[in-house]
Amino acid sequence: MQTEPAFTETELARRWNVSIKTLQRWRSEERGPPYIKLSKAVRYPVDEIVTYEQAIRQGMSNEAPLPSLCDSQPVVESPAPAAPEPKRYYLSEAFALIAQYGSLEAAEAALTEARDEAQG
Nearest CA to 46 out of 66, 22, 18 is that of: 66
As beta bridge partners, residue 42 has 37
What distance in Å separates the CA atoms of residue 97 and residue 76, rounded to the nearest whole number? 44
Q: What is the pTM of this model?
A: 0.49
Confidence of residue 117 (pLDDT cuts 50, 70, 90): confident
- Each domain of the chain, given as residue ranges in start order, spans 6-58, 88-115
3-state percent breakdown (helix, strand, coil) of the chain, nearest 5: 45, 10, 45
Which residues are CB-neighbours of 78 under 8 A, at least 6 positions away? none
- To the nearest 10°, report the CA torsion of 101, 102, 103, 106: -40
- Report pLDDT digits (tens) over 58-85: 766 656 566 665 555 555 556 666 666 7
